[in-house]
Amino acid sequence: MAGKKKREGSLLIDISIIVAACIMFLSFGETQNENGGSLLRIKGLASAMTYKPFAIVADDSLNLKIAAKDEGDVIFHSSEGYYRYGPSIIENEDGSYDAWFSSPGNNSTQWDYITYRHSEDGENWSKEKIVLKPTAKSADQCSVCDPGVIWFDGYYYLGYTSTSDYKRKGMNNSAFVARSKNPEGPYEKWNGKGWGGKPQPIISYEDDPRGWGIGEVSFVVLEKDLYIYYTYFDLTGGYTSLAKAEVCEDWPLTIEEKGMVIGRTTQDSFDVFYADDLKTFVAFAVEDRMAESSRIAVYTSRNGQSFEKNDSTKRYVEDYAHNLGVAKDRQGHQNAQEELLIGYAYGRRWGRWNTKFQSFSLSNPVTYKLLKND
């Protein structure tokens, strides 16, 4: 018992020494008011003992992670008629969806048509309706494909890819647009000066006609500006580019080129929305398109001009995927933290593609960075 009391007494002495040392340590400091609060500034010996040349702080930059929530639903099988690819999807305020697709044309002079379907829940879809065809003996006489749809001032504007060059067999494309007061049409095409009649491009490809050209538009309205994202490909390579226009009746007359937003490697066309909750442009694309390793990637941009890749995922994404579309509201906005509906085509055999719609989620996990103190 005597030995135990001796050890307890020794322990009490040790604690007293520690407390005294702490008091002496803090006595070298002074408290100052700063920005409405109190800040203890430590001086002398305490300062030397506590100064650290680096600090670990939370990184407020975006680092979005993407994940498929499930295997999704096949809404079109290639056995029904070869393909429906490149969907443009609008999510309405009541939770219903409008979607436009590239589909086969007449198998001779008109290569592609654009079809439309509606869904009340994103799972059960109406029968499709052909809503846009090429105009014979015109600048879009070969095809209409790659729909990109936006709504403002009472009209749905349907951007599409086309060419009048039968010789190049799908090359030498330009970007066009048509409009309608209803999602299922009828649509009137931009003629270079106004609406209706023989179509003219809104963005023309004027380089080597052996190149793929310009097309695959994606629209976003932000305040009074219409952002027009599109693909450019010549014989040397390709990129996603940006043009902007004023939101007005004859907006194609106000288009101004803004230049490349990101180079193209293995990814295909961008579909972009403005994330209101993040105040950021968010873009999606299939990487390793039409390959066994195909996956879906997410990119972000604060200004809508310079995009950086954040993440990609292969889980639940079909092999040989390509040409996706992401659901957004009628003006190209979405909340990134909500469940996102993405549709894409897939299939190993050319032109025999299924169409799948899947739910994806985005997250922005907290990360930290090391800062050097002055």
pLDDT (0 to 100) of residue 51: 54
Within a domain: residue 60? no
Q: Which helix (H) or strand (E) holds 369?
A: strand 367-372
- Residue 372 in domain: no
- Please tell me the predicted confidence (pLDDT) of residue 47: 46
Q: Is the torsion defined by CA of 168, 172, 178, 183 positive or negative?
A: positive
- Please tell me whether residues 90 and 195 are part of one structural domain: yes
Distances, alpha carbon 241 to alpha carbons 214, 238, 253, 306, 317, in Å: 10, 9, 18, 10, 26
Q: Is 92 inside a domain boundary? A: yes
- What token pair was written down for 295? 């996956």
CB 270 within 8 A of CB 218: yes
Q: How far is CA 239 from CA 47, 209, 305, 309, in A?
A: 54, 17, 13, 14
Three-state DSSP state, 309? strand
Task: Count the domains in the chain.
Answer: 2
- Quick one: which of 283, 290, 328, 333 has its CA closest to 310? 283
Check whether residue 14 and residue 82 sit in a common domain: no
Asked, for residue 373, whether it belongs to a domain, the answer is no
CB atoms within 10 A of CB 215: 26
* DSSP one-letter string for 26-82: HTTEEEEEETTEEEEEE-HHHHHHH--SEEEEEE-S---EEEE-S--EEEE-GGGTS
Q: Is residue 59 part of a domain?
A: no
Distance in angstroms (rounded) separating the CA atoms of residues 264 and 318 = 21
Same domain (yes/no): 125, 248 = yes
Q: Do 18 and 85 fall into the same domain?
A: no
Alpha-carbon span 62 to 34, nearest angstrom: 30
In this structure, are residues 98 and 118 in contact, taking their beta carbons and an 8 Å threshold?
A: yes
How many CA within 13 A on the CB side of residue 236? 3
- Across all residues in the chain, what is the average pLDDT? 88
88 by DSSP, 3-state: which?
strand
Q: Where in the sequence is the domain holding 327, given as residue range(s)? A: 65-363
Per-residue pLDDT of the chain (374 residues; tens, 9 = 90+): 444 444 444 444 454 554 455 444 444 444 444 444 434 444 444 444 455 566 665 556 788 999 999 999 999 999 999 999 999 999 999 999 999 999 999 989 999 999 999 999 998 999 999 999 999 999 999 999 999 999 999 999 999 999 999 999 999 999 999 999 999 999 999 999 999 999 999 999 999 999 999 999 999 999 999 999 999 999 999 999 999 999 999 999 999 999 999 999 999 999 999 999 999 999 999 999 999 999 999 999 999 999 999 999 999 999 999 999 999 999 999 999 999 999 999 999 999 999 999 999 999 876 665 566 66
Q: At 57, phi and psi to the nearest 5? A: -130, 160
pTM score of the predicted model: 0.83
> Are residue 238 and residue 137 in the same domain, yes or no?
yes
Q: Which residue pairs, CB below 8 angstroms and at least 24 apart, start in 306-314?
A: 306/261, 306/262, 307/240, 307/261, 307/262, 307/270, 307/281, 307/283, 310/62, 310/63, 310/64, 310/65, 310/66, 311/63, 311/64, 311/65, 311/66, 312/66, 312/287, 313/66, 313/67, 313/68, 313/360
Looking at residue 287, which CATH number applies to its domain?
2.115.10.20
Report the SS3 class of residue 284.
strand
Question: Which tens digit of pLDDT belongs to each residue from 115-158?
Answer: 999 999 998 999 999 999 999 999 999 999 999 999 999 999 99
Same domain, 230 and 136: yes
Q: Would residue 370 count as lying in a domain? A: no
Based on the domain organization, do 169 and 240 belong to the same domain? yes
Q: Are residues 232 and 113 in the same domain?
A: yes
Regarding whether 12 and 160 lie in a shared domain, the answer is no
Q: What is the pLDDT of residue 61?
A: 72
**Within a domain: 324:** yes
- Shared domain for 9 and 71, answered yes or no, is no
Cα–Cα distance for residue pair 52/44, rounded to 1 Å? 15
Residue 81 and residue 125 in one domain: yes
Closest CA to 262 of 210, 311, 305, 209: 305
* Rounded Cα distance, 358 and 73, in Å: 6
Distance of alpha carbon 213 from alpha carbon 365, whole angstroms:
39
| One domain, residues 202 and 233 | yes
Residue 47 belongs to some domain of the structure = yes
